[in-house]
Structure 1
Amino acid sequence: MRQLHPIPNSDNDSGTDLAARLRPQFAQPVIVVDPDDPVIGGPRCLVPVCERLVVIFGKCSAHHQRWIDEGRPDDLEAWAKAAPANRRWLQQPPKCAITTCRRSRREHGLCHSHAHRWHQQGRVDLTRWIADGGGRPLPAGADCRFPGCGLEAEGDAGLCVHHRNRWIRAHRPPIESWLLGCATFGRDRFDLRRLPMPMRLEIAYAIQCRVDERRTITRPHSIRRLLRALPGGGVTSLLDRSPDSWITYLGFSSERGHIERRFLLDAIGYLRDLVEGVGWDAEFPRDVWLLRRLGFPGRDTRFRFTGIEPIWLRQLTKRWARWRLSTGIAVATVGADIRAITLFAQSFPALQRGPEALTRELVEVHLAHLVERFPNPKSRTGQLSSLAGLLRSARQHGWESRLSAQVDLFPEDYPRLVKGPPRALSEAVMVQLEHLDNLVRFADSRGRLLARILMSTGLRVGDGARLRLDCVVRDGQGAPYLRYTNHKMRRDAFVPIDTDLAEAITNQQKAVLDEFEDPAFLLPRPTRNPEGKVAFSTGTFRGELREWLRVCDVRDELGREVHVTPHQWRHTFGTRLINNEVPQETVRRLLDHDSHAMTSHYARLSDKTIREQWERARKVNIAGERLATDTGPLADAVWMKNNLARAKMALPNGYCALPLQQKCEFANACLTCPVFVTTPEFLPQHRRQLEQTQALISQADTNGHQRLAEMNRTVEKNLLTIIDSLTTSGGCSGGGKSCACNGKDGSDAC
């Protein structure tokens, strides 16, 4: 392979580009970990005097082993308080007993020089000799080079006798490296001293990049084995071997070494980004695009154009793909388009002659090939749409003037799509999925809550997984709504939710705030997400969903195992609403469809004017007070909630404005309920109920039933207030068929 060295050997005094990119913290042979860093740091060992990170059961590896050696004491808190630090040998060594001397103690409490002098003086009384100062003072020397040592250096190594002996017992390593290792002993660190140059700088740069990305937790113990194995590779740079060669040499696999393997691949990727460049100017000419170099998420996502052999078609496809990405088309959609064009190009080698070779006959042959290869009409439609999109864009933007104007795809070329069976799940399956005993068996709390949200609101799984932390809002009556971003339509939307789901979301919000300092999402990704800025993966959720269905053994009416996709819950939600006679306009708004054609998968078109009637009507509560019309971004959501309530909880004399699925504390006494709302169209019912209520009061008084009379007087008072409010100050504005005034403006007609 071509040798790519972004940096020469560091022995070159001119320095290197890579070294210049390293911040001081990462430019050291030993990178000391900041425990507060969310990527390389983490929780500290529970031993108060220890500075190291937690590795197992709340302890660093050294203290965990000490705890095992001491018999695993039950009172862990008391043991931790008494446990010593891992740096005890770095404490100040004892000095000579002579007060004025700063040399290291050797024998009889004296340094070597004072001990020799004392022997020469006949070993007189030692205590008195020390008190007298041991004779004339010794000449002052330089300080010991050992960090934190206050003694004088003795010998060429520049160390006191105590630390010089330690250095000798370590087999006299390079003094600077040995001092650095001693200074960082007992602290979490990435020790790169054994790595050759420039590999040392390459690994340091990879650690720095991971810290800057704030994605993948990278702690020293997780790559320590890799750092020990790299020097044996026989090369001085990570780019001297291919990634596959490194993986084979190190013996990595998906089960063993996956953390080190991922770090190694990332490190090589960072270096290649430096060598090959990033951004459109560098990436567009290549035939394989690495999308992370273009600012798109995904560390390994690629677009491959190598299968499109005709150069003119490859360039045209690359230009089309760049334009599509720039206009916000999803990466997955553009990738499918590229694969469709690749299949077309591989089917017709004659296209290498140039754009003139692309004829209508060639397109018709392609149609025939697709029928054989893709029996499913929907799959063929996708292939044809990609080719048609490329041809249309090329003509629209003038990308290829040699293309014949007669070469195109027409509506008649597309296969007829057969309307498929309903995708909604049966109630027999939904009862199992919604059962509390089954929900608690969902292993991941994030996935469990997402499943509840999808079943209760009909959201698309991508929208549900990317809910913001502050996704619950309430209207003037306290009813909760879920605020989400409709990523397909690129807009914000609201959907009413019940109080139980709102409470579950509130509990999740508290849990996320306890885990992260400033999270962005309600359901943050559990891995590669130290700051909570990455949303839950839909792929992870689908895997958890399959496992949950297996564990719960969910079966259909015939006893067969059920396969459930998240989008089926959206169809089930819409179908349930239609079955409950919710107007299709309301269903369309709840599902945030752009047109009724999308909602028509669930039911035929219903009355479109129901909202206007509701907004025109004067709404009053039991006190006769007129309710203000909701405005702002929640207006549509409030209307949907009320309209849904009309369909599910309509009363003979008004509507219930209680939040959906919230229990009513007033039973059937709606006229004494504070969330009761009514309009002029119910005036005849109010008058009939008033007559009945007054008759009940008269009968109760006659029979001496004071409690019954008192309860009905409250209803009578409210009815009188309501009737008075609806028949005065402007008259009836309802105009409904049940209103006696038949739309006339005047209370006398009522």
Structure 2
Amino acid sequence: MNDVARIVPIGVADEGDEYIAWLNKRTSAVFLALFVPPDPRGVYSNPECAITDCDRVSSAGAGLCGLHVKQFRTSGIHDLEAFRRSAVIRPVVKKKHGGSSARGIFDLSACASATVRAELQLAISCKATGEYGGPLRADAFNSFVQSLNAAGVRSLRDLRASAPATLVVEKRAGSYASTHRMYLTEFQSWIELAEGNFSVKRRIGTRRGGSQRWSQSQDIAQPWLREIVERWVAYRVNTEAADAQHIGQQESHVVEFARWAEARDVTNPEGVTRSLLLDWLAEVNSQTNKHGKKFSGGYRSAKISAVSMMIQYARVEITQRIPSNALYLAGEFPARDIPSPRFLEPRLIDTLRLPRSLDLVVDPAHRTAILIMMQVGVRAGHTCSLPFDCLIDLNRTGSLDKWALNFIDTKSKMNITVPIEPHVATAIKAQQQRALVESAKMGLAVPELLFANSRARSTRQLAPERLNIVLRQWAADLDLRDSAGQLEKITPHRFRHTFATEMLEKGVPIEVVQKLLGHRSLSSTQIYATTTDKRMRAEWENAKFVNVRGEAIEMAEGPAADAEWLLNRMSHAMQPLPNGACGLPIQQSCPHANACLDNCPHFITSVEFLGVHRAQSLEFERTISKAEAAGHFRLVEINKRPNENLKKIINALEDDPGEASDAS
């Protein structure tokens, strides 16, 4: 970096203000400067451009400034090191609005007010701790300085009481409008926090999609309870107990409790009694959503759990004035609802899988993501964050149809490998080519993500939330309706439920399905198995069965029906037949040497095998015809009897025209 970026201490004597002196004491000495260079660590700002002698700051995650990202993308050079040696260095021209795409420096010398300069130095110093969110953008920051100058702002604290000045700052922001609004809120909040005022909104962290989660505890009226909640939230964040989204949800639950307690005149820690907690439990259990429906057991349990954890923390770390019996006993938490898989009916999933249906999804990246979720049940978040090299080639000895998807399941912390069909592998290969282009736009020589997205500044990937929007539009374009005529709601997780259900119905062992889904506990997978069993039994009870002579079989009722259903499942699992099922108990051996069609009393079949029966009958006819022509009458006799039984079965199953046509 040139000499202009050298550290130049600013003395308090500029204005002789005690407030400036107070700010300087709370600012790291390295930031008491007129010009602050980019942070090589990437904490308070992105690092400087990786091209030697380039004074610009790098773009998010690229390592190159915006100018050199464009050069790299159009150069045709794929090796970053080779590009660095041939890159063109252009002189920096400072923009009128103060933006530092002109320069990768925070230009504090441009501040018209020494007080504003000291406040902004404190802001950069706060950012450098890593506790106040992601990097500052030097271009937006310098533009912010110019906007403050234009508005005649003497201190950031004045903006709260000076609406006209705030409007001037926002009016001059241009494309930086949202960033300037964030700076106004954050920088003022950090000053107040330094003053010991904890009643300001604070950033909890970044959500998965890149947006920020802000605190709500500043809205609690009682200072003692607000302090408890704020310290508990800080404890959860600092110990990385959960992500920002989850901690924010927990905070919203305890803030709701605090407001409710305030309305009940709870004015001190002694008022947080067990009786109060039981009343809150009753309140939560009686609440309904906007549709008038009672909240789920899981949601009610989350509300109670958040309050319980907060009170336990407060009693141990903050105050012992909360009564020791103010707690919930085991069994008092709302019971979680038994999960019910929301799989898509066969008619729906079959429609969605049609090539002409998928073609309605215009964006090829969205189409590939949907295909992956639909075929192998990967969660939306994991799909969007799939690594670039997620495709595994399993082909050996000339085969072309064996592929697998490999990724880390961040929820279970497991490495997942899922076999995929060839057309899914083909779609992933095409997406890899698109990812190369998107990664080059971001200045990355080696792609990191399959669904790289140069338009997503913070996450650099396809957003899961975007897929939900695409799926809603897709369902509308296809006009998919449920049995009540309402537009079907298609979500990524319904694809996951459908995948699990289909695997179990096809006879895949539940332990294998558990691995495919990335479940740590078999009980999670068992939910799908229970639903699958109910669904298959309903179809079995409504089916028409005939024996080897084509006679209809009456199904039993009550306990006998339960026993026959279990026998049917065991027969399919242990003695699968291509044209029906064996009704013989599995503990007994078959005396007919698998000659099921030769008057076996245990043979059972249904309309789903009608096509197999027809094909087998034609094969019998050809065999008999050849045997008769050759004079092999014994062979004719062997094949004639089972073929006659087969014709009886076909005639019996064809008695129902609707079923017969469906099976054809």
TM-score, normalised relative to structure 2: 0.56
Q: What does residue 470 of structure 1 align with? A: 389
Give CA-to-partner distance per residue, 1:366-411, whole Å, 9 cap, x none: 122223323224332221122233345556x565433333222234
CA positional deviation for 1:515: 2.8
Shift of the alpha carbon at 1:524? 2.3
Q: Which residue of 1 aligns with 2:152?
A: 234
- Which residues of structure 1 form unaligned runs of 5+? 1-5, 49-86, 88-146, 148-178, 608-645, 653-695, 704-750
Aligned to 2:301: 381
Partner of 1:301: 213
- Write out per-residue CA displacement over residues 455-497 of structure 1, whole angstroms, 9 at most, x where no aligned residue: 1121221122211222122447483222222222233322222
Work out whether 1:500 is the aligned partner of 2:500. Answer: no
- 1:22 is aligned, of 8, 16, 37, to 37
Contact 1:578 1:584 in 2 (8 A): yes
* Counterpart residue number, 2:249: 336
Aligned 8 A contact 1:554 1:562 in 2: yes
Distance 1:258 1:467 in 2: 36
Counterpart mapping for 1:285-434 below 5 A: 288-292=201-205, 298=210, 300-325=212-237, 326-349=239-262, 352-374=266-288, 375-378=294-297, 379-393=299-313, 400-419=319-338, 422-434=341-353
Give the whole-Å Cα distance in 1 for the aligned partners of 2:407 and 2:244. 21
Paired residue secondary structure (1:301) = strand
Cα pair distance change 1:366/1:295, threshold 3 Å:
closer
Q: How far off is 1:257 after superposition?
A: 7.4
- Maintained 8 Å contact 2:408/2:415: yes
Greater Rg by CA: 1
Does the aligned pair in 2 maintain the 1:39–1:215 contact within 8 Å?
A: no
Decide which of 434, 445, 458 is 1:511's aligned counterpart. 434
Quick one: distance in 2 between partners of 1:566 and 1:472? 21
- The residue correspondences of 1:151-162 to structure 2 (distance < 5 A) are none
- Cα distance in structure 2, aligned partners of 1:217 and 1:405: 46
Q: Aligned-pair distance for 1:423?
A: 0.9
The more displaced of 538-547 and 567-576 is 538-547
Which of 346, 356, 373 is the equivalent residue of 1:454?
A: 373
Counterpart of 2:452? 524
Q: Name which of 516, 537, 548 aligns with 2:463.
A: 537
For 1:407 and 1:277, locate their aligned partners in 2 and report how far apart those are by CA, in whole Å: 31
Output the CA distance in 1 between the equivalents of 2:34 and 2:108.
16
Q: 1:238 to 1:43 in 2, by over 3 A?
A: farther
The alignment partner of 2:388 has SS state of coil
**Which residue number corresponds to residue 620 of structure 1?**
none
The structure-2 alpha-carbon separation of the partners of 1:332 and 1:303, relative to structure 1 and needing over 3 Å to count, comes to same
Which residue number corresponds to residue 168 of structure 2? 249
| Alpha-carbon distance in 1 for matches of 2:479, 2:57 | 47
SS of 1:600 mapped into structure 2? helix
For 1:406 and 1:226, locate their aligned partners in 2 and report how far apart those are by CA, in whole Å. Answer: 53
For the aligned residue pairs, the C-alpha RMSD in angstroms reads 5.4
In percent, how many aligned pairs have the same letter? 22
Take 1:313 and 1:224, find their aligned partners in 2: how far apart are those partners? Answer: 39
Residue type of the alignment partner of 2:230: K
Q: Distance in 2 between matches of 1:238 and 1:455?
A: 52
> Residues 687-742 of structure 1, C-alpha deviation per residue, up to 9 Å, x if partnerless?
xxxxxxxxx9xx9xxx9xxxxxxxxxxxxxxxxxxxxxxxxxxxxxxxxxxxxxxx
Q: Partners of 2:280 and 2:295 in 1: how far apart? A: 15
One-letter identity of the residue aligned with 1:336: Q
Partners of 2:311 and 2:15 in 1: how far apart?
A: 55
Residues 542 and 506 from structure 1, CA distance in 2 versus in 1: closer, same or farther, beyond 3 angstroms? same
Structure 2 counterpart of 1:492, one-letter code: N
Report the residue type matching 1:317 in the other structure. Answer: V
- Amino acid in structure 2 at the alignment position of 1:259: S
Task: Tell me the alpha carbon deviations over residues 438-470 of structure 1, each in whole angstroms, 9 at most, x when there is no partner.
Answer: 322223333222211111121221122211222
SS in 2 for 1:522: coil
Deviations along 1:152-183, one digit per CA (max 9) or x if unpaired, are xxxxxxxxxxxxxxxxxxxxxxxxxxx9889x
Contact preservation (8 Å) 2:120, 2:187: no
Over 3 Å counting, the alpha-carbon distance change for 1:286 and 1:201 in structure 2 is closer
Instruction: Give how far 1:39 is off.
Output: 5.0
Post-superposition CA distance 1:532-568 (Å, at most 9, x none): x633222222223223333333333554311222211
Residues in 1 aligned to 2:196 and 2:431: alpha-carbon distance in whole angstroms: 41
* Residues 727-746 of structure 1 mapped to structure 2, 5 A cutoff: none
Cα gap change, 1:321/1:238 in structure 2, threshold over 3 Å: closer, same or farther?
closer
Structure 2 CA distance for partners of 1:367 and 1:272, relative to 1, 3 Å: closer
Closer, same or farther: CA 249–587 of 1 in aligned 2, 3 Å: same
Say whether 1:484 aligns with 2:398.
no
Q: 1:506 to 1:596 in 2, by over 3 A?
A: same
Give 2:307's aligned amino acid: L
Match of 1:598 among 524, 533, 536: 524
SS at match of 1:473: strand
- Does the C-alpha gap of structure 1 residues 581 and 320 become closer, same or farther in structure 2, counting only changes over 3 Å? same
Q: Tell me if structure 1 keeps the 8 A contact 2:253–2:307.
A: yes
Aligned mates of 2:305, 2:108 — CA distance in 1:
57
Mapped to 2, the partners of 1:311 and 1:441 lie a distance apart of 55
Compute the displacement of 1:572 (Å): 1.1
Q: Is the 8 A contact 2:204 2:215 kept in 1?
A: yes
Q: Distance in 2 between matches of 1:545 and 1:462?
A: 15
Q: CA 1:223/1:45 → structure 2, altered by over 3 Å: closer, same or farther? A: farther
Q: Residues 40-90 of structure 1: CA distance to partner in whole angstroms, max 9, x if unpaired?
A: 4267699x9xxxxxxxxxxxxxxxxxxxxxxxxxxxxxxxxxxxxxx9xxx
- Note if 1:579 corresponds to 2:505: yes
C-alpha distance in structure 1 between counterparts of 2:122 and 2:198, whole Å: 27
CA contact (8 A) 1:39 1:216 kept: no
CA contact (8 A) 2:456 2:462 kept: no
- 1:181-209 deviation line (CA, Å, top 9, x unaligned): 89xxxx98479999763689999999999
Matches of 1:180 and 1:569, distance apart in 2: 53
Shift of 1:424: 0.9
- Show the counterpart of 1:41: 67
Q: Confirm or deny: 8 A CA contact 1:462 1:538 kept in the other structure.
A: yes
Where 2:529 maps in the other structure, the secondary structure is coil
Aligned length in residues: 464
Change (3 A) 1:330 1:11: closer
Instruction: Quote how far apart the aligned CAs of 1:413 are.
Output: 2.7
Q: CA contact under 8 A between 1:34 and 1:40: conserved in structure 2?
A: yes
Tell me which moved more, 305-314 or 236-245: 236-245
Structure showing the higher helix proportion among its residues: 2
For residues 108 and 223 of structure 2, the distance between their equivalents in structure 1, rounded to whole angstroms, comes to 49
User: Does the Cα contact within 8 Å between 2:405 and 2:418 map onto a contact in 1?
Assistant: yes
> Quick one: which amino acid aligns to residue 323 of structure 2?
S
Please give the secondary structure, in 2, of the residue aligned with 1:603. Answer: helix
Matches within 5 A, 1:115-154: none
Contact persistence 2:405–2:419 (CA under 8 A): yes
Describe the shift of the 1:239–1:347 C-alpha distance in structure 2 as closer, same or farther (beyond 3 A): closer
